[in-house]
Amino acid sequence: MVNRAQISLKIRQGFILVFVLIIALPALFFSVGKAYYASLVDATEKTLEAHLYSLISEVEFVSDGIEMPRSILAPELNRLNSDTFALVYQNDSLVWYSESAVNLSIDPSFSDTQTGASEFIRVEYNNELYWQLSLTVILGNAQHSQQARFVLLKKNDALVELMSGFRKTLVNWMLGMGIIIALLMAFGFVWNARPLQRLDKEIKQIEAGEREQITGLYPVELLTIKSDLNLLLESQKRQKERYRASLSDLAHALKTPLAVIKSSPMAKDEDVQEQLDRINVMIEHQLKRAATGASDTWKKQTVIKPTLDSILNAMSKVYVEKHIQFSKTCPDDVAFLGDKTDLMEILGNIIDNACKACDHMVDITVTSASKKQITIEVEDDGPGVPEASRTELLTRGTRLDTYEAGHGVGMAIVADLVKSYHGLIDIGTSKHGGAKFTIEFNHE
């Protein structure tokens, strides 16, 4: 399972874009549509209300009821094909209707509202929706008054048609906005990612040994990272110089007394000579281990194939009498993220041991899952390493010359080197019946 912190910036930007296009814009479309429909309903109510008061102003009181002109001021009420209608009732009887309502056949329903209080509702007559505004008023004078109910209707289809046109326009605008937003976000991502790409390029150049520090111009947010990385590089450089000086002094201090003792008559004794050799191996081991701990491994890349070819060429000459068949599989571009000397130490020891242990065959396979994931396998057709001795073989302080058929020489050094590069080493059984050494480096 991928850690959330490992999700790439492109995927995160994609999530934001998907959210905007699939959730935010549709939600905005729905909200704007609802707001526009509400404004249409409110405008309809105000329009009907204007027609209502216009009708009331034109009504005339007569002794047997009310009288209104056949043609009124509102043009919508004078057209036969209009979607707006006006009706006037007295005592639940229709006493007047507008010309637009000539072909209208409905029986409006009213709720019990107080006189002078208007009511605006959506109703359904004959399977068709209308918006209805009704108002009950008292007409007449002090001597004689009459009650009349004014009803104005507007077809809901008119609102639906307006809403449909608005939605088509809104969809076009939303599509245009979606395309513009996607392009702007893509441009913004590329623009924001460029400093990170430049920083990554400079770090890779440092890894390849092409530069010593990060020198590019970066936004304020990356200046702290740039400064910290440069301080780290400078600190490593100073530390490495101190290690080199100290190791040089230590090597001189130890090698000289050993050389004197070896040249003395006392060294002629076989037991003494053996102990001196062991001391020399231990010194080399510890100096090598300390030196690798001081190396700038992240600033170095060593292509494996040339180094491997050099080692195999040397081994074919050293073990020419065994007529060893070397099988090599190694891509040209696979690189070890470390020092060339360390790589030669690791491969040299393991391949040398395989040559000593094998009968006639040694296989070397190098694979790479990615630039920073490397697997090295060395197999032989010898007797192999007993399973009970495999862990001990890689343990520091073990006598390296006690294993049969040559396996073990320098393996503690190899194990320490591999560990210093955060790698893993495993001893198994080869498909040829001998030993199989597997080394994995993962710098992801």
pLDDT at 71 over 50: yes
Of the ranges 4-8, 97-101, 389-393, 401-405, the best mean pLDDT one: 97-101
**pLDDT on residue 401:** 44
Average pLDDT over residues 368-378: 87
Please, are residues 315 and 323 in contact by the beta-carbon 8 Å criterion?
A: no
Whether this prediction's pTM lies above 0.75 is answered by no
Give the strand pairing for 361-370 and 325-329.
parallel
Please, are residues 153 and 87 in contact by the beta-carbon 8 Å criterion?
A: yes
**pLDDT on residue 129:** 92
**pLDDT on residue 203:** 84
Rounded to the nearest 10°, the torsion over CA 76, 82, 87, 93 is 160
Average pLDDT over residues 248-276: 71
pLDDT in tens, 213-237: 888 888 888 888 888 888 888 887 7
**pLDDT on residue 402:** 44
pLDDT in tens, 309-358: 999 998 998 888 889 999 999 998 898 888 787 888 899 889 998 998 89
**How far apart are alpha carbons 59 and 54 in whole angstroms?**
9
Count of H-run helices and E-run strands, the chain: 9, 14
pLDDT at 138 over 70: yes
Please, are residues 267 and 261 in contact by the beta-carbon 8 Å criterion?
A: yes
Q: How far is CA 13 from CA 2, 243, 251, in A?
A: 17, 46, 56
Neighbours of 244 (CB within 10 A): 12
**How far apart are alpha carbons 33 and 163 in whole angstroms?**
8
pLDDT at 80 over 90: no
Of the candidates 333, 335, 331, the residue with the CA atom closest to the CA atom of residue 301: 335
pLDDT at 256 over 80: no
**How far apart are alpha carbons 414 and 284 in whole angstroms?**
12
Average pLDDT over residues 95-120: 81
Percent of the chain with pLDDT over 70: 82
Please, are residues 384 and 430 in contact by the beta-carbon 8 Å criterion?
A: yes
**Position with higher pLDDT, 438 vs 411:** 438
pLDDT level of residue 1 (50, 70, 90 thresholds): very low
pLDDT in tens, 374-427: 999 999 998 888 888 887 777 654 543 444 444 444 677 788 888 878 889 999
Of 191-195, 221-225, 289-293, the range with the lowest mean pLDDT is 289-293
Neighbours of 290 (CB within 10 A): 14
**Position with higher pLDDT, 324 vs 141:** 324
Name the strand (E) or helix (H) holding 199. Answer: helix 156-207
**pLDDT on residue 409:** 47
**pLDDT on residue 329:** 93
**pLDDT on residue 285:** 58
Percent of the chain with pLDDT over 90: 18
Give a three-class secondary structure readout of 112-180.
CCCCCCCEEEEEEECCEEEEEEEEEEEEECCCCEEEEEEEEEEEHHHHHHHHHHHHHHHHHHHHHHHHH
Please, are residues 368 and 390 in contact by the beta-carbon 8 Å criterion?
A: no
**pLDDT on residue 72:** 67
pLDDT level of residue 78 (50, 70, 90 thresholds): confident
Q: Name the average pLDDT for the chain.
A: 81
**pLDDT on residue 406:** 44
Of the candidates 83, 155, 102, 85, the residue with the CA atom closest to the CA atom of residue 124: 155
Task: List the structure tokens of 351.
Answer: 């391949």
Average pLDDT over residues 276-290: 65
**pLDDT on residue 24:** 87
Of the candidates 315, 412, 309, the residue with the CA atom closest to the CA atom of residue 366: 309
- Spatial CB neighbours of 383, under 8 Å, sequence gap ≥ 6: 357, 404, 405, 434
pLDDT level of residue 440 (50, 70, 90 thresholds): very high
Of the candidates 54, 110, 111, 114, the residue with the CA atom closest to the CA atom of residue 84: 54
Please, are residues 384 and 435 in contact by the beta-carbon 8 Å criterion?
A: yes
